Copies of this chain bind each other. A is one copy, B any other.
Amino acid sequence: MADKIRVTVWNENVHEKTHEEVRKMYPLGIHGAIAQYLAKQPDLEVRTATLDEPEHGLTESVLVETDVLTWWGHIAHGKVDDKVVARVQKRVLAGMGLIVLHSGHLSKIFRALMGTTGSLKWGAADEKERLWNLEPGHPITAGIGACIELPYEEMYGERFDIPTPDKLIFVSWFEGGAVFRSGCCWERGHGRIFYFQPGHETYPSLHNPEILRVITNAVRWARQRICIESTCVEVKPLEKISAKQM
């Protein structure tokens, strides 16, 4: 456990170029905001990658050196190359951690790993959100109290089309009357996956210390533990087989 956890912070980085409001909110890009915070942690080694880099910055060699990948995408899900998605999925199944943020619920990689549509109700009405902490003993909520309050976030509401989470960490209350399973854990293959709802591009949620603390905790929780690509293997019986007499 002496080695640092190698984190790659991925962002489609489109809104930041086209919307002045987003650029002002996240002058370093959403990836920059997350990476800046993570890089302050002594146990993390952080790099970023974005959509417009070759292979979206997610080459084989980058992924081989990545223990945990965080993912933020929204309007450009369709521009992510299927080959890169397959490569990321393969790595998650082999043991790499994956943290999917906010609108990443519709990303190709999240849908490929879940097998479901990831669809939900949504509304942009500057609603107050409260994320209730259901698992105060879980590593993902270390340092977090009974509830995180955000003055405004995009509303995401049920039904969220996901497989039943292995562990439900946060459930959110929205001012407008909705609820949402806003922090969900799964394991797929040997990899750990955490979906976390906050992070709309026009709100400062990804500057919020509690939200960044949860993401940091999730990175530590999801750190790669082994790296095994599962394949079908033919094996011989370990015990003597009685003769077949059909």
C-beta contact mask, A189-209 vs B, less than 8 Å → 1, else 0?
Answer: 110000000000000000000
Kindly state whether residue A27 has any CB partner on chain B within 8 Å: no
CB nearest to A173 among chain B residues: B179
Q: Is the CB of B93 within 8 A of A117?
A: yes
CB nearest to A106 among chain B residues: B232
Kindly state whether residue A163 has any CB partner on chain B within 8 Å: yes
Given A168-B168, A172-B179, A241-B176, A233:B122 Cβ within 8 A: yes
Shortest distance between the CB of A88 and any CB in chain B (Å): 12
* From A158, A163, A175, A177, residue with most partner B Cβ within 10 Å: A177
Given A116-B189, A117-B231, A236:B179 Cβ within 8 A: no
Q: Is the CB of B132 within 8 A of A178?
A: yes
Q: Is the CB of B115 within 8 A of A114?
A: yes
Please tell me which one of the listed residues B116, B230, B239 contacts residue A159 in the complex, with CB atoms under 8 A apart.
B230
CB nearest to A142 among chain B residues: B225
Q: Is the CB of B163 within 8 A of A134?
A: no
CB nearest to A113 among chain B residues: B115
Cα distance A173–B238 in the bound complex, in angstroms: 12
A158 contact set on B, CB distance < 8 A: 132-134, 171
Kindly state whether residue A62 has any CB partner on chain B within 8 Å: no
Cα distance A119–B229 in the bound complex, in angstroms: 10
Q: Is the CB of A179 within 8 A of B176?
A: no
A179 contact set on B, CB distance < 8 A: 130, 132, 171-173, 179
Kindly state whether residue A126 has any CB partner on chain B within 8 Å: yes
A-B contact pairs, 27 of them (CB 8 A): A93-B117, A93-B161, A116-B230, A119-B231, A125-B236, A126-B244, A127-B241, A128-B241, A132-B159, A134-B158, A136-B190, A136-B226, A136-B228, A137-B225, A152-B244, A152-B246, A158-B171, A161-B189, A163-B187, A163-B188, A168-B168, A171-B171, A171-B181, A175-B241, A176-B239, A176-B241, A179-B179
